[in-house]
Amino acid sequence: MLEIRIVAPSHLTSDITAMLDEHPGVVTIALMRGSSLIPVGDTISVGVVREAGDDVIGRLRSLGVAEQGTLTVVEPRLVLSNAATTTEAHVPGSPIDAVIWEEVSNRTSEDASMSGTYLILMMAATMIAGIGVLSDSVILIVAAMVVGPDFGPTAATAVGIASRRWTVARSAFFTLIVGFLTGIAATALLAGFLHLTGIYQSQAVLGLRPQTAFIYEVGWPSVIIAMIAGVVGMISLTTAKSGALIGVFISVTTIPAAANVAVALVYRIPDEVIGSMQQLLVNIVAIQVAAGLTLLIQRRLTSRANDRLRVLLRAGRAGTIAS
């Protein structure tokens, strides 16, 4: 269940409460008149089953709540309520599969933005992967995959394209590219230092590296894994199953490929530079295509669920009029 807290001017209160009172997905409504000083007005706390959350938030926005007041949504970890259980049974859809599109939009807008934290994490992840390449250590490669924050702007680009929010898509793609370029530059400097100081000699890098050779060897498995990761990543991003994102981070070869570009440039291995760049490009494109298609399917399913909610709402109104 979702807890929605509304702070709005008093002249909106009657319309808001009337809409909420009629909605089949609403479990509780609490009204505190005159409790808000800025803006001057009322506070309304609403309990809504997650399946109906997207529809209720959309209706609140259409009433002008976001423009004239504030709308805050949180999801409690524990809810004990027979009313909530009963409401969930009558509302179409599943709480696990339900998508709150305002939440997705807000999260992707944040992921599309450039930040110092993002660049530091990209540099750290790529440098860890660079040392993993030099030492042929798959453990360091996996660690770098977990640290890497690149899935955020990758997914944000897909969301922006699928929802035709071109500004978000451009910003996210720019953030993604700058992040990789920054990581490659930092890793190249590190690899150059390790090479000049003799910590990692050319012979070690030019020799066989069975644990990390997959980084620059592009094939259909790379495409398939990246597409599966794109599907899982988008589902994790849009639903309550965020724990699966760790698996997504570990399964894609973006950070290791960027690191190997830097290492191969420093140690002058052109075949690995080309192979790693191809691996990076294939992973980014495959993830975005799969994530975008998943998002379009989820939008269609959410639209159908909202249509069924509207049917229930009209049926409730008709019953009220008849009585």
Is the pLDDT at 319 greater than 50? The verdict is no
Is the pLDDT at 322 greater than 50? The verdict is no
Is the pLDDT at 323 greater than 90? The verdict is no
- Angle at which helices 166-196 and 151-162 cross, to 10°: 160
How far is CA 12 from each of CA 28, 32, 65, 195, 313, rounded to the nearest angstrom? 19, 13, 8, 67, 21
pLDDT of residue 99: 85
Is the pLDDT at 318 greater than 60? The verdict is no
Mean pLDDT of 150-156: 89
Report pLDDT digits (tens) over 38-66: 999 999 999 999 989 989 999 999 999 99
Report pLDDT digits (tens) over 223-260: 999 999 899 888 888 876 666 667 777 778 899 999 99
Is the pLDDT at 321 greater than 60? The verdict is no
Mean pLDDT of 12-29: 94
Using CA atoms of 290, 94, 78, 22 in order, give the dihedral in degrees to the nearest 10: 120
Is the pLDDT at 300 greater than 60? The verdict is yes
Please give the Cα distance from 267 to 262 (Å, whole number): 9
Do 54 and 102 meet the contact criterion of CB atoms below 8 Å apart? yes
